[in-house]
Amino acid sequence: MDNPPLYRQLADHYRAAITAGTIAQGQRVPSVRAIMRQHGVSLSTALQACRQLEQEGWLEARPRSGYFASSPRRSTVLRLPEPDTGSTPDPAQYVGIHARVSDYIARGRAYPIKTNFSGARAAPSLYPAEELRKAGVRALRRDAHVLVRAAPAGGNRHFRAVLAKRALENGLVISPEEITVTHGCIEALNLALRAVTQPGDTVAVESPTFYGLLQILESLGLRALEIPTSATTGLSIEALELAVRAYGNIKAVVVVPHLQNPTGSIMPDAHKQRLVRLCEQQAIPLIEDDTYSALADGENPSTSLKAWDRSGNVIHCASLHKTLAPGMRMGWMVAGRWQARVAMLKYAQTRDNPDWPQATLAEFLESSAYDRHLRRLRVALRRQRERMAEAIATHFPLGTRMSIPDSGVTLWVALPEQASSSEVFDAALLRGILFAPGSVFSNSDRFEHCMRINCGEPWSEQLDDAVRTLGELVRDAGNAGRRKPGALRPALMPAPVPAPATLGATATWFDAIGDDC
């Protein structure tokens, strides 16, 4: 491996001195000129080293006095507290995603975005664009009629065979014929919910959960019952049991067992088993969204909920949208005892998926290129996540809490209680910064002080600046005390756009936010 650049070696040297106590907290470190002399480096190298350490929080610059040893704010960022799981959720509260979302849309569109923390996937540069293109060209050359012949029923045979083989890694023993190929995991979730529910039914979901799911529920006329969810272990099984006992009318449960969106939690295997058993005993269909599991670090691949399914009660939904090819929107599902009904609904909704993308991805997934890509992607995400967590710890005010997941692409940040993320959202937009405010991850107000931050982009000064700006805005919002969303609007802000009566306009906002799975 190459040596790190000189300024980094220099930064390492002083960081070690500070952490070892050789330079005490608050003590002045040698001046830039002294560093130049002592280490025989240029001005720019000495400055870069100091700025690096300042950025990391190990140095604090005091105007006209120089740099002083400090310690990064990281230690002041607390883990998120566990949710209260002892009280019964009130389904009456949870009827459709709130109309304020429509207000965000219009605002989100009104500003040019320079820094986008709102998605939940990696930057295009982290996916194997060139290898996929080559596979795509080969698929076009291999099969003269692939673009002009109707697609094969249920999906491309080879693609489904490769998926079935890959599923073994997650403990799933399925035949290719059990797989229905879909337009992303989003279509799979739509089909799963349409297969097992009727409009007006109640569906238990995680809280917080990704707003894409809340939007699907609302568009299908379903009611979301939000179940307390730990940022560490995911959906609370106790809380779900309580809700099942209290209501008895839950028609489906939807969970993201691995790298839950937005918290990044991973459900322990013992919880998975309990959840599968509970749903089977209560005859409640269990819908698993397994879009992110390939991003999980660790030696053993994650075991899907469906691996414990013995009665076909679990509907497994997954996608390659986050892990391999965000431009191809390829998903699939294993619908268990609802397979025939799902196949009918899929046929009536969008017919069979086109063949070419499946043929292209089959070739890629079958090879070790996919494993190599995943390893690289996980390493990159880990680095980016750590840099982002560090930056948030450095720039956000005391009292900020954070989920610190071991894997994945997002961080879930809880601001000090008095700060409203909706206000920060408004103010950040004015500065060209977009993130996903907590209020859209629930039909309730309980995540108003939270935000989801994407870590998909390779780290850059621009990102660091944007986090610093966000930190300032959070501090301002906190200092101003807790107010109603929109009560204090920056001077440059246009008047709020009235929320339309229909759901209509919601789409545009989601477009701007760019969250999809």
Site for a copy of itself in 182-211 (CB under 8 A): 183-184, 186-187, 190, 194, 198-199
If one asks whether residue 504 binds a copy of itself (CB under 8 A), the answer comes out as yes
If one asks whether residue 355 binds a copy of itself (CB under 8 A), the answer comes out as yes
Query: Which residue, 200 or 298, has its beta carbon nearer to a copy of itself?
Result: 200
Identify the burial level of 327 via C-beta atoms within 10 angstroms of its C-beta, where 0-12 means exposed, 13-18 middle and 19 or more buried. Answer: exposed
Query: Which residue, 80 or 217, has its beta carbon nearer to a copy of itself?
Result: 217
If one asks whether residue 505 binds a copy of itself (CB under 8 A), the answer comes out as yes
* Residue whose token pair is 């992303």: 184
Rule CB under 8 A: which of 370-409 touch a copy of itself? none
If one asks whether residue 367 binds a copy of itself (CB under 8 A), the answer comes out as no
Among 17, 95, 99, 343, binds a copy of itself (CB under 8 A): 343
CA 130 to chain centre: 25
* Rg of the chain (C-alpha set): 25
Rule CB under 8 A: which of 39-68 touch a copy of itself? none
Among 65, 75, 368, 502, binds a copy of itself (CB under 8 A): 502
**Closest separation between CB of residue 53 and a copy of itself, Å?**
35
Region of 25-33, 60-68, 342-350, 444-452 interacting with a copy of itself (CB under 8 A): 342-350
Rule CB under 8 A: which of 140-159 touch a copy of itself? 140-141, 144-151, 153-154
Bridge partners for 254 per DSSP: 205, 287
Among 96, 171, 354, 496, binds a copy of itself (CB under 8 A): 354
Among 25, 44, 349, 479, binds a copy of itself (CB under 8 A): 349
Determine contact, residues 342/195, Cβ cutoff 8 Å.
yes
**Closest separation between CB of residue 435 and a copy of itself, Å?**
17
Residues 6+ apart with CB under 8 A from 57: 70, 71, 72, 73, 74, 390, 393, 394
Per-residue exposure over 49-74, b if at least 16 CB sit within 10 Å of its own CB, e if not = bbbbbbbbbbbbeeeeebbbbbebbb
Q: How many CB atoms lie within 10 A of CB 277?
A: 14
How big is the site for a copy of itself, counted in residues (CB under 8 A)?
Answer: 72
**Closest separation between CB of residue 503 and a copy of itself, Å?**
5
Rule CB under 8 A: which of 302-341 touch a copy of itself? 325-329, 338, 340-341
What's the residue count for the chain? 517
If one asks whether residue 457 binds a copy of itself (CB under 8 A), the answer comes out as no
Element (H, E) at 179: strand 179-182
If one asks whether residue 507 binds a copy of itself (CB under 8 A), the answer comes out as yes
Per-residue exposure over 196-234, b if at least 16 CB sit within 10 Å of its own CB, e if not = bbeeebbbbbbbbbbbbbbbbbbebebbbbbbbbbbbbb
Per-residue exposure over 355-378, b if at least 16 CB sit within 10 Å of its own CB, e if not = bbbbbbbbbbbeeeebeebbeebb
Rule CB under 8 A: which of 164-183 touch a copy of itself? 183
Query: Which residue, 286 or 359, has its beta carbon nearer to a copy of itself?
Result: 359
Region of 55-63, 134-142, 281-289, 431-439 interacting with a copy of itself (CB under 8 A): 134-142
- Please give the single-letter amino acid code of residue 44: S
Beta strands 401-402 and 410-414 are antiparallel
H helices of 396-481, where?
Answer: 421-430, 461-479
If one asks whether residue 116 binds a copy of itself (CB under 8 A), the answer comes out as no
* Residue whose token pair is 């999809």: 516
**Closest separation between CB of residue 209 and a copy of itself, Å?**
14
The token pair at 237 is: 């099984």
Query: Which residue, 57 or 408, has its beta carbon nearer to a copy of itself?
Result: 408
Report helix, strand or coil for 443.
coil
Query: Which residue, 345 or 393, has its beta carbon nearer to a copy of itself?
Result: 345
If one asks whether residue 498 binds a copy of itself (CB under 8 A), the answer comes out as no
Determine contact, residues 162/366, Cβ cutoff 8 Å.
yes
Rule CB under 8 A: which of 206-265 touch a copy of itself? 212, 215-216, 218-219, 221
